[in-house]
């Protein structure tokens, strides 16, 4: 299937090439964002075994017990699948990959007030795309900033090797892995307005803050894509989807690898 290219500016392409990420505005209309909001509001009131398992009845001191992330909603929600394959997003990805993008994963984060963040990490440690890499498309459904648990990125680490993570501070991170940035690199906030999409390379070190607010969610729809010339991926990500909705499977990269099987993917459902 061929795609036209939503041509990024030379400045945007240079930003992605050198810094490892770029923010693109206006890829979703307000009506589309409202539909996404309503879809995940409806999902938040039920249990979907294996994909979304909140504690609906009992109170918990951890807000993520009531609002955990939704894993692979495209497997059970046609709306999520449609927005995972959102044409404007695929056009940007085509420009970045310079080939057809394949959708490998979708997630929705509610990130309620008080929720822990996610320690710095690298996505392709988990997706294990070869040859090539993954690219994330991180859509802000709410404004994401330093107060409500917005994104942190470590610029110029997209060419940094995938490294075995250390143990994170689980008082601040809901995931166990932490990747320490190189000594000469620093994490900075990537502030996003509602509807902005942050695209970033699978080797880029990134994470998120704790949501320090008392009344603001930080909802986001996050998908990962791989280049069509890839032949292997982590076993949890098959099948992959083309833009027309048809599926294909890549050879599964085995769990473990040089870091050992204790580093199981937190994205597995």
Spatial separation of the C-alpha atoms in residues 253 and 250, rounded to whole Å:
9
The tens place of each residue's pLDDT in the chain, 269 residues long, gives 454 556 799 999 999 999 999 999 999 999 999 999 999 999 999 999 999 999 998 788 999 999 999 999 999 999 999 999 999 999 999 999 999 999 999 999 999 999 999 999 999 999 999 999 999 999 999 999 999 999 999 999 999 999 999 999 998 999 999 999 999 999 999 999 999 999 999 999 999 999 999 999 999 999 999 999 999 999 899 999 999 999 999 999 986 455 765 444 544 43
**Would you list the DSSP string of 28-51?**
S-HHHHHHHHHHHHHHTTS-BTTT
Eight-state DSSP code of residue 237 = G
92 sits in which H/E element: helix 87-97
Domains of the chain and CATH, by start: 10-52+63-255 (2.60.120.620)
* DSSP count for the chain of H helices, then E strands: 6, 16
CA distance from start to end of the chain: 30
Q: What is the pLDDT of residue 59?
A: 83
Could you tell me the pTM of the whole model?
0.93
8 Å CB contact between 150 and 115: no
Contacts of 236 (CB under 8 A, 6+ apart): 265, 267, 268, 269
| pLDDT of 58 | 78
Categorise residue 111: left if φ over 0, alpha if ψ from -120 to 50, beta otherwise. left
The residue among 39, 123, 135 whose CA lies nearest residue 89 is 135
Strands 220-227 and 101-109: antiparallel
How many Cα atoms occupy the beta-carbon half-sphere of 4 within 13 Å? 4
């Amino acid at each position: 299937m061929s795609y036209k290219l939503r041509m990024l500016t030379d400045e945007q392409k240079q930003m992605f090439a050198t810094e490892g990420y770029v923010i693109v505005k206006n890829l979703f209309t307000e009506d589309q964002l409202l539909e996404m909001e309503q879809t995940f509001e409806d999902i938040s009131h039920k249990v979907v075994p294996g994909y979304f398992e909140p504690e609906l009845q009992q109170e918990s001191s951890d807000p993520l017990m009531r609002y955990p992330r939704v894993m692979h909603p495209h497997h059970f929600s046609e709306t999520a699948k449609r927005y995972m394959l959102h044409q404007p997003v695929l056009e940007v990805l085509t420009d970045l990959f310079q080939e057809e993008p394949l959708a490998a994963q979708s997630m929705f984060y509610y990130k309620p007030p008080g929720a822990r963040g996610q320690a710095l990490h690298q996505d392709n440690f988990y997706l294990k795309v070869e040859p090539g890499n993954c690219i994330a498309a991180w859509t802000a459904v709410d404004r994401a900033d330093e107060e409500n648990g917005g994104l942190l990125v470590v610029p110029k680490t997209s060419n940094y090797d995938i490294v075995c993570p250390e143990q994170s501070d689980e008082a601040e991170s809901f995931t166990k892995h932490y990747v320490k940035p190189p000594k000469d690199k620093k994490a900075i906030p990537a502030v996003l307005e509602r509807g902005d999409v942050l695209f970033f390379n699978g080797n880029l070190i990134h994470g998120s803050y704790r949501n320090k607010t008392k009344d603001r969610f930080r909802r986001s729809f996050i998908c990962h894509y791989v280049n069509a010339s890839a032949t292997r991926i982590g076993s949890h990500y098959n099948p992959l989807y083309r833009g027309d909705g048809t599926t294909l499977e890549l050879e599964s990269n085995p769990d473990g690898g040089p870091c050992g099987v204790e580093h199981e993917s937190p994205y597995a459902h």
